[in-house]
Structure 1
Amino acid sequence: MQTKTLTPYLQQYLKDKGKLFIPYIMAGANGLERLPQEIEELAKSGACAIELGIPFSDPVADGPVIQQAGLDALCQGVTLKKIIRLLQTMSSDIPLILMGYANSFFHYGLEQLTDDLRTTAVKGLIIPDLPYEHQELVAPFLASSDLSLIQLVTLTSSRERIAQLTTAGEGFVYAVTVNGTTGLGKTYSTSLNKHLAAIKEISPIPVLAGFGISSTEDVHRFTSVCDGVIVGSKIVSLLSSEGTQAAGQFIKQATESL
């Protein structure tokens, strides 16, 4: 089994530079040819890694902003195969993480996927509709690769479940901050900080909070109790409406005091 590099990279980043900020972007929403520029700008602005969304026709975990971005990408003919083909031709100074639904990866073929990603900067997969109990459908294909299978911990996860997920987790733990879908302007539970602190206490790998984080205040709140944040809808919205530099500026402002 190959040693995965995403966890030690993030742990070293925490030691050297402080908290972790991972932006999510929908691959190809603004034209696939623009993806390398988006990755370069966000990396330069303070992202420690970038989560690349794979457009899908039935994105059950996504809110309206990311759903629309996925539709925009699909309307332009963006596919997982085209995304990977592009990633094979480009370099990235930071790790990339593919976030997609199980059907996309199974349809591509998991053995083919791991082979095709071997020469890219992709170091992790997030599959939100793959339950922990079914990870054996994917994990054996990743065992000899440098692809970490990232686990999601929800607000309803018991302490025992959290221990199970964090022990099995690779790369980092994705701590979901709301029940439901992603999106802007979410209302957070009053007990959320306590929940995140409990995950952080148990987890042997970095813990990042995600879903609904859309302001510098949100970023500072969650990085006070865990290792970092994942910001999706806010970044996707800025990329679509104001462009790459605006998204980069948000990351700079959000991370400069962490």
Structure 2
Amino acid sequence: MKKLVGYITSSVPSNNFSVDLALSMKEAGVDILELGIPFSDPVADGPVIEKANQIALKNKFSLKDLFEVSSKIAPNMEMFWMGYMNPFYHYGLGEFLKKAQEFNVEGMIIPDLPYEEAALVNNLFEKYNKVNISFVAPTHTENRIKQIVEKSQKFIYMVAYAGITGSGQSEDLSSIIKTVKKYSTTPLYIGFGVDEKTCKEKVKGVDGVIVGSTFVKHLIDESLSNKEKISKITAAAKEIKEKINE
């Protein structure tokens, strides 16, 4: 069974809604939740997720909100925090990992933390028995991929193209998939540009998909009620989960 990882931005439009949405997504087939930590400069994300970040920050999002939401979701489904290094650094990465341990959060997805810098904090992740998800991209050489994936855990995040999330580009990934599989048996999931139309093609050769903008576009749609937002997001999740496993 191929896996579906779903991204949502924490606390948009409220903490309680995030909890209700996450648990509904689990029922709809989402295997792992990627809970986004709102940040003012989400460099890897496209306009949809960037807008969600802005909405949360405008609503005075704080890490207290993240921890409240996480405490209610993580005991019920596999969950990672997705965020940029700045918030982790300012709060203290060790303190964040303590919180992850407290709430049963699996670990972190940090797109702006290069492999070399991640290696410097591996001891902290090991201390708290948490995972720092590895990223591979089409621009990486074979040696680079080998270096990155050999010690990967839980899953490897494969970026589908060089760019930002949600832009819908495509590249031939067969070579990079083959290289990753050569050096690691860790499940390989593909993200960036995955939606109901592209998921069936993108999942070929990999173990799952990571979906963000497709869900978040409903999250920030002001014409929808909260009930309608959950309905549209769960419907999309069900369709994607079915298509990647056909």
Normalising by structure 1, we get a TM-score of 0.87
Q: Does 1:147 align with 2:130?
A: yes
- Partner of 2:242 in structure 1? 256
- Partner of 1:41 in structure 2? 24
Distance 2:169 2:99 in 1: 40
SS at match of 1:122: coil
- 1:140, distance to aligned residue in structure 2 (A): 1.7
Q: Does 1:132 align with 2:115?
A: yes
Q: Sort the Cα spacing of 1:39 and 1:140 in 2 relative to 1 into closer, same or farther, 3 A.
A: same
Structure 1 range deviating more: 98-107 or 128-137: 128-137
Give ranges in structure 2 of 5+ residues lacking alignment: 222-227
TM-align CA RMSD? 1.6
In the TM superposition, what whole-angstrom CA distance separates every residue of 1:170-206 from its partner, at most 9, and x where no partner exists? 221100001111114x1212x2233223323432200
Moved beyond 6 Å, runs of 4+: none
Q: Sort the Cα spacing of 1:121 and 1:248 in 2 relative to 1 into closer, same or farther, 3 A.
A: farther
Distance 2:236 2:194 in 1: 12
Distance 2:120 2:67 in 1: 21
- Partner of 1:7 in structure 2? none
Number of corresponding residues: 238
Q: Does 1:202 align with 2:183?
A: yes
Q: Does 1:178 align with 2:161?
A: yes
SS at match of 1:247: helix
Give the conservation status (yes or no) of the 8 Å contact 1:97–1:123. yes
Report the residue type matching 1:233 in the other structure: S
Q: Sort the Cα spacing of 1:91 and 1:123 in 2 relative to 1 into closer, same or farther, 3 A.
A: closer
Give the conservation status (yes or no) of the 8 Å contact 1:173–1:208. yes
Distance 2:181 2:3 in 1: 14
- Partner of 2:76 in structure 1? 93
Report the residue type matching 1:154 in the other structure: A
- 1:159, distance to aligned residue in structure 2 (A): 0.9
Structure 1 range deviating more: 40-49 or 116-125: 116-125
Distance 2:113 2:107 in 1: 14
Distance 1:89 1:192 in 2: 37
Q: Sort the Cα spacing of 1:85 and 1:138 in 2 relative to 1 into closer, same or farther, 3 A.
A: farther
Report the residue type matching 2:102 in the other structure: T
- 1:88, distance to aligned residue in structure 2 (A): 2.6
SS at match of 1:115: helix
Equivalent residues in 2 for 1:1-258, closer than 5 Å: 18-89=1-72, 92-184=75-167, 186-189=168-171, 191-215=172-196, 217-241=197-221, 242-257=228-243, 258=245
In the TM superposition, what whole-angstrom CA distance separates every residue of 1:80-130 from its partner, at most 9, and x where no partner exists? 232113323555432111110111101111221122221213102011111
Q: Sort the Cα spacing of 1:158 and 1:55 in 2 relative to 1 into closer, same or farther, 3 A.
A: same
Give the conservation status (yes or no) of the 8 Å contact 1:21–1:229. yes
Distance 2:73 2:241 in 1: 26
In the TM superposition, what whole-angstrom CA distance separates every residue of 1:227-257 from its partner, at most 9, and x where no partner exists? 0000000011123334012111111111124
Distance 1:58 1:239 in 2: 19
SS at match of 1:65: helix
Distance 1:167 1:239 in 2: 36
Distance 2:22 2:50 in 1: 20
Q: Sort the Cα spacing of 1:104 and 1:219 in 2 relative to 1 into closer, same or farther, 3 A.
A: same
Report the residue type matching 1:196 in the other structure: I
Report the residue type matching 1:205 in the other structure: T
Report the residue type matching 2:175 in the other structure: K
Distance 1:142 1:187 in 2: 33
